[in-house]
Each structure stands twice: as structure tokens, then as C-alpha cells.
Amino acid sequence: MKKLILLLGCLTLTAACQVAATKPVSISTPTTILRPTPISATTVPTVAPLPTPPLYFTEEFDTASTFWEFFQTGGTNTPLATFENGMLRIDIPAPHTWYLGIHTVHTYSNIFITAQSSLSPTGSIGLICRYDASKGWFEFNVASDGTYSVLFGQWLAPDIAQYRPIATDSIRHFDAGNLNYEIGLSCQDNSLLWYVNGELLRKKDVERFELSEGNIGITAASFQEAPMTAIFKWVKVDEQ
């Protein structure tokens, strides 16, 4: 997956700024280098402070929330995250763009996250657990072609991250015409468990990564074809 960092200039009555972009960094196994770009504060509307959610909760996206922090990696245009009609909608206008949303209020060790989601015919959606900016995070992604991937991400520097694959496979009983999923990710002690539509796909020991707790989050990504739209109708954070 190619990653681009794009600097947008401005146009005045007398002169035009140039646009510069660095050469993208492709995704490859076993490691992937990403260069994250924090999303501008203007992406999410400024709203009055909301009550802090409890430790276990269901986010139904009824109103814009400052508890979510979004990041972009790659892509020539900035994705747009909007809270509307009881859902979180993510529009990604450019190919090869990765987007992460981290819920920053609570940290968890053992946790089960589920989400009702849908996506356009090309791209992926996913969940994050045990996100720790200094140590790393676990990520489960489901793609529109019926495959999934489980990854361990880790910041190498303030603007550089590394992804290492944990597992990848096809989804059993995948319906090629259905792009609506209930996805689930469970972090339990030294194991990760991941689900699609209530079905446990696999359980994997991840003790070697020495990642014990962190925030939860969501992901969306575009592939070669763009634009891409991902929708999260709700995200539930609960005990196993």
C-alpha cells in the first residue's frame, strides 16, 4: 500500500504555490512502514463537552464526539469523518489511504469490541485494541474481497510506524454481495480472538508482543480504487 504525504499550497492573486509530495512507501510483509499525518481539528466539528462515557459503553454516534482522535497515513487527500444520522461515516477520496480513529478516554487490558459496519466495494474496515502510543497496538481488518488481516502496529518515531502481520486468511461463508459486517475483536490475557457476524474465526497467542493494555479504536482503508466509504453504525466496548 503506497503512502503519500501531500503538502497543499495556496493560490493568491499574484502567485501560486507549488504542490510537493514525497515518494510513497509501499506496504510489504513482514513489515510495513507508515507515516501518519494527524487529521486537522477542523475535520470533526467543535461541540460542547460531552459526559465521559463509562468504562463499558456503546457508541452510537448520535452526536459529534471529541473522545475520538483520528489519524491518516498515505493518500493524496484528507479523509473526512462525520457524525451523522446515528453513524460515523468515513469518506476516503484517494487510493492507498489508511485511517485510524482512537477512543482516548479509557485504557483496557481484557476487552471485547464489536461494531456494526459497512463499506464500499473496495477497501477495508477494522477494530483496534490495546493501543499504546509508546508500545504498539493490535488491529483486525476485514476487506471487501472477503479476506482479513490481523496486525501488530508500533511507532518507530513520531512520524513512522511499523506493521507486522499476525494472521491473514479468507472469511468462511463469505457472501460476495454483502458488504455489511458485524466485526469483533477480543483481547484476553495473552490471546487475540477475532469474529465476523458472531462467528469466531481464530484465536492466536500474542504473548511475544508484550502488549498488556491500551485504548480501543477503529480503522478504514482504501485500496487501488477510490473513493471509498466506510460506515460504523455502532461500536460496543464490553467485558468478554
Q: What's the confidence (pLDDT) of residue 145?
A: 87
The grid coordinates of residue 81 equal 469523518
Q: Is the pLDDT of residue 203 over 50?
A: yes
Sheet holding 147-157, edge to edge: 32-34, 160-170, 147-157, 136-143, 124-132, 214-221, 97-108, 68-74, 36-38
Q: What's the confidence (pLDDT) of residue 97?
A: 87
> Domains in the chain, start-ordered, CATH in brackets?
26-238 (2.60.120.200)
The residues pairing with 138 across neighbouring beta strands, listed in sequence order, are 129, 152
- Give me the percent of the chain exceeding a pLDDT of 90: 55
pLDDT per residue as tens digits for the range 119-132? 888 899 999 999 99
- Contact between 218 and 115 under an 8 Å Cβ cutoff? The reply is yes
pLDDT per residue as tens digits for the range 6-20? 222 333 323 333 333
The span from the CA of 167 to the CA of 75, in Å, is: 25
Which candidate, 128, 119, 196, 213, places its Cα nearest to that of 163? 128
First to last CA, the chain: 33
pLDDT per residue as tens digits for the range 29-67? 445 545 555 444 445 555 556 789 999 999 999 988 899
